[in-house]
Structure 1
Amino acid sequence: MSPVRTFLTRLARPTITSRRDLIRYVVVVTAFSLVAALAIDVAQQLMFFTTWVTALRSWAVTVAAVTVIATPVATMFARAQWELQRAKDALEDLSRTDPLTGLPNRRALMEASEAPTPQTMVLVIADVDRFKALNDTYGHRAGDAVLQAVGQIMTQHLAGFGLVGRLGGEEFALISSDASLEQIMSALRELLRAIEATPFVTPGGAVRITMSAGIAIRHSSEPFERLYSEADEALYLAKRSGRNQIELSARAKEALPPGKTADYQNLA
């Protein structure tokens, strides 16, 4: 595409995301309109030249008229484009947000997992224990209230280590490339203790719950599917081993420093 065509396309379909973009667009459109109108007027005056006074008067009128017309029209168009961009951004945010908890949803977590990173990635999958029984006993409104509260507590304890989100149902996740495995394990231990000690107020009454979690790690060259599968298997082992505890995948255990491999079973 030629530079001229690219420029005209940007004028016709601008991307405006801030007030600075809006002001820049109005200035560019007004300047472009002035140059175009003056070029036509100058050519006309040179072809049918009478006096310099007449030519200068005509050019002054052209400048004033174009400025008065182009500036407000460009401003209105730019504001409309800005509002349209805001609406698009809001829809994009909604498509990546879990409506119940306000956390990033599965799509957002999957996209974060695919981002290139040179560091080792840690995935935690945490699941509310016996959530179906909670729903059956206290009702779905109580279950929703518990999930909302769990999301808030998880954010408080884990958001500093990476992206906390809800995978769906009663499953939550943490994706981290910025913290060590030991740091995440320590924070996760405190999280499970906080969950166990917190009475959750719901429309059906106060309830107490526990959570189980599985942890897995991967290197930058490995597929996310393997990481997810290993974390899910670790979570299943935590459930099968009595719930309210943390389990690590085999590779996560191997990644722990010497002397720490026997501690993971008692994290919760």
Structure 2
Amino acid sequence: MFFGLTMDLATVLLLHKCSFIVGAICFFYVRWRSREPGLDFLAIGDGLLAFASTLAGVGEQGILPHEVWTFGSFSIGVTGYSLMAMGLVQLSGRRRKRTDCLLLVVALTLSVVVGSMHWYADNPTRAAIFNANTAVFLGVSCAVILRDFFLDRLPARWGLLASLAAAMSFSTLVAVGMIFPQYGPVEPRYAFFMLIICHFSVALFVVVLVQERAEAQLKRLAYTDALTGIPNRQHFLASLPSDLRGGDAFIMIDIDHFKSVNDRYGHETGDVVLVGVAQAISTTAGRKVTLGRLGGEEFALFLRDQTEETAVAKADQIRRTVNALAFASGAETIVPSVSAGVAVWRGDCNAQKLRDQADQALYLAKRGGRDRVELYANPQSMEELSSSATATTVTQHSSGPEHPLGELAA
């Protein structure tokens, strides 16, 4: 198609066309099953490249005028590679942008220039320009895929990057071989055969990348609480270390009187409050903290490298952040509060036991009046504190009922 071949021309053109046909079929099918952006452009681009290869094959047989098939295969092929690059850019970033169309503009501009200068009429010139342009488009695709690596660190991204880099290298070798046949490091026909293999490889790794993304999404859904968007109980427990070390701590948090919010304002308002509190806890906790919604209005945090003072300070920071929230419900404003229990590992228990200790401290905070943080001491001290909290609660009830929603403002 792009350089002079003698006895192997038919085989090369057939393989070249088949690589794009297979790619187009794969991309169309995956696009039908997936919503990933860019697959439609990849399918159309490979379809155009297959058509350009067919047009060149028919032209080589003398069925079409020389100017028709040479310029037609060149312009359609360049457009196909530009659409392929657009598809890869969109697939990599998982988004569509208007600036992606600049790749298509470059291809159309190049076709106009080549057509007006009649460079398409000379086989080596046409082949050199075409493959140099192909290398540029593939290079852009490689750069974008590498740039977007942190969007999803999936193994298929490396395979796709390697396939595109190899295709770019072989396209460059073909272009160099066409311009400087006596200095070309690899005979163009061999580089062209390897380029065909790269096309199959690109199609394979695009399909694998889409599949890996789907699996990663299912895993995220399985480990994420659907309402609040934070990790669920299963993910939280699975993220805990098997062995504790000094400075490990649990913080158990419970929204005060949340049932009263649901009963008085309805479950929709309750969900709004729950989501708002969950996001406030997540933001205040930070990325280095393991967080999970254990169920209902209860949350758990696991922290490393803490002292009793820093763990209590973190819990109190979360408490104060939640107190600063306000949710409107009709003419009233709901200001939520939370109670928290803290337990720091002292070398005498496992993760389950440490979490139970934080739960006991949380129970004590709720018995002691709510909207407060309690630190787990030893069992004897906890019994004494529990008795004291019970007495305090009785005194509170004798002086008047506690407001069931923390704070309300009309």
TM-score over 0.5 for the pair: yes
Cα deviation for residue 151 of structure 1 reads 1.4
Would you say the 8 A contact 2:225–2:293 is kept in 1? Answer: yes
- Give me the whole-angstrom Cα distance separating, in 2, the residues matched to 1:65 and 1:174: 57
Please give the residue correspondences for 1:85-164 in structure 2 after superposition, counting only pairs within 5 Å.
85-116=212-243, 118-159=245-286, 162-164=289-291
Letter in 1 for 2:161: I
Which residues in structure 2 correspond to 1:102-251 (within 5 Å)?
102-116=229-243, 118-159=245-286, 162-202=289-329, 205-218=332-345, 222-251=349-378
Which residue does the alignment assign to 1:23?
161
Query: For the structure 1 residues 89 and 217, does the alpha-carbon distance in structure 2 shift closer, same or farther, using more than 3 Å as the test?
Result: same
More helix by share: 2
Aligned to 2:102: none
Distance 2:266 2:242 in 1: 39
For residues 166-212 of structure 1, the C-alpha deviation after alignment (integer angstroms, 9 at most, x for no partner) is 11110111110133321221232232233234322357952122211
The residue type equivalent to 2:327 in the other structure is: F
Residues 117/227 of structure 1: CA separation in 2 closer, same or farther (3 Å cut): closer
CA distance in 1, matches of 2:331, 2:200: 57
Aligned 8 A contact 2:315 2:342 in 1 = no
User: Contact 2:247–2:306 at 8 Å: present in 1 too?
Assistant: no
The residue type paired with residue 90 of structure 1 is: Q
- Paired residues in the alignment total 214
TM superposition score normalised by structure 2: 0.46
| Structure-2 change in CA distance of 1:117 and 1:229 (3 Å) | closer
Q: Hey, what's the Cα distance between the residues in 1 that align with 2:342 and 2:271? A: 25
User: Normalised by the size of structure 1, how large is the TM-score?
Assistant: 0.68
Q: Does the CA-based 8 Å contact 2:255-2:338 persist in structure 1? A: yes
State how far apart, in whole Å, the 2-side matches of 1:75 and 1:220 are. 53
Q: 1:114 to 1:219 in 2, by over 3 A?
A: farther
- 1:132-180 C-alpha deviation (Å, 9 max, x unpaired): 1110100111111111111122123222661232111101111101333
2:247 partner amino acid: T
Distance 1:219 1:206, change over 3 A: same
Deviates more, 1:198-207 or 1:225-234: 198-207
CA deviations over 1:90-124 (Å, ceiling 9, x no partner) = 22122221111111111221122235554432001
Q: Which structure has greater strand proportion?
A: 1
Q: Does 1:81 align with 2:219?
A: no
| Whole-Å separation in 2 of the counterparts to 1:178 and 1:202 | 41
Larger radius of gyration: 2
